[in-house]
């Protein structure tokens, strides 16, 4: 039997946007649950603040899933910011850089319970001042595919080339503040080079856009799923 899956939504997104992905994974035989976030749950994190409000709900969901399925491990899927927040959760270093939590709360160190981490369009680096502090914590403490016992799969989309022209400005600006180069390929939000990690199974999928609300294909589209679900345990 496949391990249960927990999906962590992207920044400022609620769980309802991931219901189609959740159902598609269930149809493939994977018991799946999405962390029950609402858009307003993200508000305390805006402006580069602590991700503790999200980590608390993620931890509760993971523990409930392990208990419900009598499992010792899960597959964890993080979309966009959900990917690097998952890396904070997996890691063992106390996430106390914002001074809003004491070490004894232990909302991290989950690596023994994660068999596979799949990140979808996750910016694993950033030059943007509001996100840089959190991402630097991850990058410095857990470089690359840090835990050898975890299978890291990092999925990037190649659908929009950033350019200073109509229709490509959003991609250009997003890529620029993420990796320092706006004229590159990505999914419209995350450039390819930022979505991959050294030592991971790095995939680049043609035609895939960033968000579940994007027109056309995104990472969770039924046609795309076979390209990365084959790495799930």
Give the integer Cα–Cα distance in Å for 106 and 197.
26
pLDDT the model gives residue 107: 87
pLDDT beneath 50, residues of the chain: none
Answer yes or no: are the C-beta atoms of 62 and 74 closer than 8 Å.
yes
pLDDT the model gives residue 130: 85
Phi, psi dihedral angles at 147 (to 5 degrees): -95, 115
Question: Would residue 213 count as lying in a domain?
Answer: yes
Give the integer Cα–Cα distance in Å for 97 and 49.
10
Give the integer Cα–Cα distance in Å for 177 and 188.
13
Domain count, the chain: 1
Question: Would residue 215 count as lying in a domain?
Answer: yes
Distances (CA, A) of 32 to 4, 24, 44, 69, 232: 6, 9, 27, 11, 12
How far does CA 23 lie from the centroid of its chain? 19
Scan for tokens 């890529």, then name that residue.
Answer: 175
Nearest Cα to Cα of residue 211 among 201, 202, 220, 198: 220
Scan for tokens 């402006």, then name that residue.
Answer: 47
Contacts of 37 (CB under 8 A, 6+ apart): 9, 13, 14, 15, 54, 57
In 62-164, DSSP assigns E strands to 74-79, 114-120, 151-158, 160-161
Question: What is the residue range of 24's domain?
Answer: 5-156+190-229
> Structure pTM?
0.96
Q: What are the pLDDT digits (tens) for 64-102?
A: 999 999 999 999 999 999 999 999 999 999 999 998 887
Question: Would residue 185 count as lying in a domain?
Answer: no
Question: Would residue 181 count as lying in a domain?
Answer: no
Give the integer Cα–Cα distance in Å for 78 and 104.
25
pLDDT the model gives residue 104: 74
CATH number at residue 110: 3.40.50.1820
Distances (CA, A) of 91 to 13, 40, 87, 224, 230: 23, 26, 6, 29, 25
Secondary structure, 3-state, 175-191 = HHHHHCCCCCEECCCCE
Residue 135: enclosing H or E segment and its boundaries? Answer: helix 129-141
Give the integer Cα–Cα distance in Å for 139 and 212.
26
Q: Which two tokens stand for residue 18?
A: 């991931």
pLDDT the model gives residue 233: 85
Question: Would residue 172 count as lying in a domain?
Answer: no
């Amino acid at each position: 039997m496949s391990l249960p899956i927990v999906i962590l939504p992207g920044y400022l997104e609620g769980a309802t946007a991931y219901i189609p992905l959740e159902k598609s994974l269930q149809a493939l035989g994977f018991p799946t649950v999405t962390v029950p976030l609402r858009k307003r749950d993200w508000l305390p994190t805006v402006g580069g603040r602590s991700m503790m409000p999200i980590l608390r709900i993620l931890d509760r969901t993971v523990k409930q899933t392990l208990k419900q399925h009598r499992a010792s491990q899960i597959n964890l899927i993080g979309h966009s910011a959900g990917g690097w927040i998952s890396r904070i959760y997996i890691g063992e270093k106390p996430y106390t850089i914002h001074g809003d939590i004491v070490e004894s709360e232990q909302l991290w160190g989950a690596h023994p319970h994660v068999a596979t981490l799949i990140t979808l369009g996750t910016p694993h680096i950033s030059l943007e001042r509001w996100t840089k502090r959190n991402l630097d914590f991850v990058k410095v403490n857990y470089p690359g595919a840090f835990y050898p016992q975890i299978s890291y799969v990092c999925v990037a989309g190649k659908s929009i080339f950033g350019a200073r022209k109509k229709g490509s400005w959003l991609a250009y600006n997003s890529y620029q503040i993420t990796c320092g180069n706006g004229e590159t390929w990505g999914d419209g939000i995350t450039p390819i080079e930022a979505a991959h990690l050294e030592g991971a199974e790095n995939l680049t999928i043609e035609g895939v856009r960033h968000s579940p609300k994007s027109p056309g294909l995104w990472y969770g589209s039924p046609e795309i799923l076979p390209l990365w679900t084959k790495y799930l345990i």
